[in-house]
A and B are shown apart, each in its own frame.
Chain A
Amino acid sequence: MPNILVADDSPTMRRMVIASLQSLPNVHFEEASSGLEAIERLALAPVHLIVLDLNMPDIHGLEVLHFTRRHEVFRSIPVIVLTTKGDEASRAEALSAGAAIYITKPFEPHLLAQYARDLLETA
């Protein structure tokens, strides 16, 4: 059963993301409200896809991304960066660091679901 990690410091935003991805078959969700928590979730259970916010307290989403790309165990997990308008400057950094897709909020739920489905299938 694919496990999707949703990391965002806003609980409402996490619910919106999960609601958008609920239609995917058999998925299970892990939630994290900070960068540190996101990394802990990765350490505790196998994760198959990360939906990652950038502007989070304690560890910035880009740091989380860099961390996962530096370490063998996490390197192959696809990452969707989901961030708020105004952070576009980090797009290039995120993509070159290894994010699969970069989406800005407000996002289209069915598009997010489509990307997630594709990434889970190719992984």
Chain B
Amino acid sequence: MTPASTNVFTEFLDDYFAECDEHLTAMRRNLLTLESLAQQERVDVSLLDELFRSLHTIKGLSGMVGLAEAEQLAHLMESILRALRRHQLDLSDEAVDALILGTRTLEQVIATRQTRQPLPDIAPAIKQLEAITGPLPDLPPSPEETPTAATETRLPLPRESGPPAFTLREGERAWLFQFTPARALAERGISVDSIRTRLQEIGQIVHAAPRIQDGGKVTFEFLVTTDADDSTFTPWQEDGLTWAPYEPPPPTPAATGLKAVPTPSIGPPNVVRVDLTRVDDLMQTIGDLVISRARLEDTLTSLARHVPAAQQRQLQEINQALERQLRSLREGVMRLRMVPLGEIFERMKFVVRDLARERRQEINLALSGQETEIDKLVVERMLDPLLHLVRNAVSHGLEPAEERLAQGKPAEGTIALRAATAGDSVIIEIEDDGRGIDRERVAEQARAQGLLDAEAPLDDPTLLDILCTTGFSTRRQADRASGRGVGLDVVKKTVEELGGSLALDTEVGRGTRFTIRLPLTLAIVDALIVSVGGQRFAVPLPSVREVIEARPKDVTVLGNEDEMLSYHGDVLPLIRLAARFGLQEQFERAFYVLVAAHGAKAAGIVVDRILGQREIVVRAISDPLIQVPGIAGATELGDGRPLLIINPAVLIGSRR
């Protein structure tokens, strides 16, 4: 039955994509675990169950939104898992490969549907999957083929009989918990779900079942093995829980020798899913609040002369409290937008695994800091750049095994992917222990292409700038993994658009490390408010290294009219904001220079005056007709007059 009215459900497409994404993420993780178990006798049943359930949900939902290709792929993969679950099929490399290809194709089908592009060819994946299952008739399969489809994926849950056998580890005890749900408890947020989560935190739930008491009251029984002391759960009495030590019945002959089946983590985590646009709306309102508070502060300042000191202090205290509370409100909403980087790190595992196979090379991917959180939007934008850097590390970085062994390195190459939070930034590192970048070769090429002066030294920042130049390549032949030098410029551009920076460290024979620094949030930043030619501009504080006061006589003009300022024993090229925007400078004796850097280049941005430091709300300028290089957006300070936000990196980058 295919609904003629499928379009009824198109309003749920965004939910569909989001939910599929969650399942695909879980599937990728589970498949990699499964792969590591290939050809083993016993496979963790819960792993197969979880994969099965993900596919089952994707299949059901795909059918509802009319995406038949996804439905078909999920159905075939589900059949393989069912056969594995019933031991009708061995967990061979071929089966795992087919599942992985199937997952990737499924992912592509869903992604192309989302971006409204033509769907990919699913025939190769179908062919490979059918080679494992044997050709299946059209959907739905006949009942004979799936005689116990439903019971197969059911968790062991005896009905009125006793709980299943389980094993206790050193120091563990078994407890039988009983939870009686009640409305009063539900109003306090205490439900069977939260109780289950609570019990999972202290140990393992071996068995869970509903019971009806005399009088018709429903209770839930949980058998839990834990090393926690019963003082841990004493306070839980108030939450409708009772417990008693549980004595397992003596093992029956049939039960001995059976290993306990690990119970999968059951139930969803305690999470609400919110549409990102709602969070954006909230952020917008907070932005408006920030502006209103700035107006309040300005009004207070202008009233200062007319208000007695005591009242003025009170007003100031209220104003400051408001500022603090607004900051914590903003941080709270920001946290809603944060997602762990682990999700995209998981994807990298998949990519590395494929590349390793393709190149017939052992590659170890070491991940750390997966729990580091960053803005959802940043994660989405960073996926492709990170993919690119990881591919680069494999194809340009790691040497073939023989070459590595000859150099006394382990045959297995290592790629490390690390993330950490540092102040207002998130730092992501991609490091390989490969051959490093051959400076001489790059320098030679760069000189040939006119990108580097004959005698100029090639330090890491300059090297990065050259590698990031569009079209620059030292590879004679593009290879499949990384393409031809295309991309590093895109990586850098994306990072900079997000207000971050990219750095490079490399040592020949030892390896290469890329370091990406990204701001935690995008919407509100601290900025310097400056004035040039009577106009105000905002410059984000994180991009300003230093502010120096200078006088016209300190400036040296070179033959090509470039202006330089002596700076820490070096020279600093100057960019006059007034000249950039057709304004007339209006300073008296001295002007100010904001020192900022962009890759290897540092420069000073000349302004008339510094007006102060403020928290500003960044409003992007989305109309391409009024987008100007060097302008990151616009903001207002509460007086109703807009001002432009400068992006120093772009100004410096575009300097001749």
Contacts and interface: CB of A to CB of B under 8 A. Distances in A.
Given A86-B140, A86-B149, A108-B1, A43 B217 contact: yes
A10 B64 CA distance: 12
A63 B267 contact: no
Contact of A42 (B196, B218, B273): B218
A39 B266 CA distance: 15
Interface string A52-73: 0011011110110011001111
Interface stretch (B179-187, B438-446, B615-623): B179-187
A36 B196 contact: yes
B638 interface: no
Interface stretch (B7-15, B168-176, B566-574, B593-601): B7-15
B63 A93 contact: no
B78 interface: yes
Contact of A36 (B3, B139, B192): B192
Most A Cβ at <10 Å: residue of B59, B64, B151, B153: B64
B196 A89 contact: no
Interface in A1-28: 9-13, 15-16, 19-20
A15 B15 contact: yes
Given A11-B15, A36-B192, A63-B159, A58 B59 contact: no
A45 B75 CA distance: 37
Given A106-B2, A110-B5, A84 B210 contact: no
A107 B149 contact: no
Contacts of B319: none
Contact of A59 (B19, B66, B157): B157
A85 B19 CA distance: 19
B14 to A, nearest CB: 9
Most A Cβ at <10 Å: residue of B15, B181, B192: B192
Contact of B266 (A13, A34, A85): A34
Nearest to B146: A89
A85 B140 contact: yes
A55 B60 CA distance: 11
A6 to B, nearest CB: 14
A123 interface: no
B267 A40 contact: no
B258 interface: no
Interface residues of A, number: 49
A106 B191 CA distance: 31
A67 B209 CA distance: 10
Contact of B53 (A33, A57, A63, A91): A57
B309 interface: no
Contacts of A91: 143
Nearest to A103: B1
B161 interface: no
Nearest to B57: A10
Contacts of A62: 150-151, 154
B75 A85 contact: yes
A61 to B, nearest CB: 8
A43 B220 CA distance: 11
Contact of B267 (A10, A58, A73): A58
Given A40-B181, A58-B208, A71-B212, A109 B59 contact: no
Contacts of A73: 212, 216
Nearest to B185: A44
Contacts of B19: 10-12
B376 interface: no
A87 interface: yes
Contact of A85 (B3, B59, B148, B157): B59
Contacts of A105: 60, 63-64
A10 B5 CA distance: 21
B210 A86 contact: no
A4 B549 CA distance: 72
A119 to B, nearest CB: 20
A114 to B, nearest CB: 13
Interface in A69-123: 70-73, 84-91, 93, 104-110
Given A40-B218, A44-B186, A85-B63, A109 B149 contact: no
B78 A86 contact: yes
Interface string B49-91: 0000100110111011010000100010010000000000000
Contacts of B408: none
B250 interface: no
B3 to A, nearest CB: 5
A57 B150 contact: no
B149 A89 contact: yes
Contacts of A9: 53, 57, 268
B63 A87 contact: no
Contacts of B192: 36-37, 39-40
A66 B160 CA distance: 11
Contact of B149 (A20, A57, A87): A87
B1 A107 contact: yes
Contacts of B11: 19
Contacts of B147: 89
Contacts of A57: 53, 155, 264, 266-267
A37 B191 contact: yes
B53 A89 contact: no
Nearest to A64: B210
B155 A12 contact: no
B212 A104 contact: no
Contact of B150 (A36, A55, A72, A85): A55
Given A36-B208, A84-B56, A106-B64, A15 B12 contact: yes
Contacts of A45: 183
Nearest to B183: A44
B146 A66 contact: no
B6 A106 contact: yes
Contacts of B216: 71-73
Nearest to A90: B150
Contacts of B154: 60, 62-63
B280 interface: no
A90 B149 contact: yes
Contacts of B497: none
A46 to B, nearest CB: 12
Interface string B1-42: 111111011011001101100000000000000000000000
Given A11-B273, A54-B150, A106 B56 contact: no
List the 5 shortest-distance A-B pairs measured between CB atoms, nearest first.
A90-B150, A43-B218, A106-B63, A84-B60, A12-B15
Interface of A: 9-13, 15-16, 19-20, 33-34, 36-37, 39-40, 42-45, 54-55, 57-60, 62-63, 66-67, 70-73, 84-91, 93, 104-110
Given A34-B267, A39-B218, 6 more contacts: A19-B12, A60-B153, A73-B216, A88-B141, A89-B146, A89-B149
23 contacts: A11-B19, A11-B273, A12-B61, A34-B267, A36-B220, A39-B218, A43-B181, A44-B183, A55-B153, A58-B267, A59-B208, A60-B150, A63-B157, A66-B159, A67-B210, A70-B212, A71-B216, A85-B63, A86-B56, A93-B150, A105-B63, A106-B1, A106-B3
